[in-house]
Amino acid sequence: MGSFTRDNTELAVDVDGAGQQHRAEAGGMTIALERWNAGLDTADWFAELPDGACQEPHWGYCLKGQVTMRFTDGGTEVISAGDAYYVRPGHNAHIDEDTEFVEFTHADEAPGINTVAL
């Protein structure tokens, strides 16, 4: 398959009140179509991971909203609607506004079905 929508991808994550993520795999990449609600912070979700942060790199495009990425080295980066982005390993996300993303992760590094890619 060459194109992906919420209708032809798997609903991989559905957290009541937090958002959803649909996923597909192609070309060695995991493609995630994500919607997250304002106020979500991944620090609790990723607390058990090394350094309490997501350890995978992600590439994507923000369709709507704004998120602040916090890195384990103390840095931060704001991603807003219209931004193409790269998020390096060692991050947590705080969703500042309701957001929609299209995100890509190497399939061999993509999180399992019960985790979130942010």
pLDDT digits (tens, 9 = 90+) for 43-83: 999 999 999 999 999 999 999 999 999 999 999 999 999 99
Query: Taking the mean position of all CA atoms in its chain, how far away is CA 71?
Result: 14
Q: Is the pLDDT of residue 114 over 90?
A: no
The number of distinct structural domains making up the chain is 1
Neighbour tally for 27: CB within 10 Å: 8
| Residue from 70, 67, 73, 117 nearest 96 by CA | 67
User: β-pairing, 29-36 with 84-87?
Assistant: unpaired
18: domain CATH number is 2.60.120.10
| 115 within domain boundaries | no
Domain that residue 16 falls in: 10-106
- The model carries a pTM of 0.87
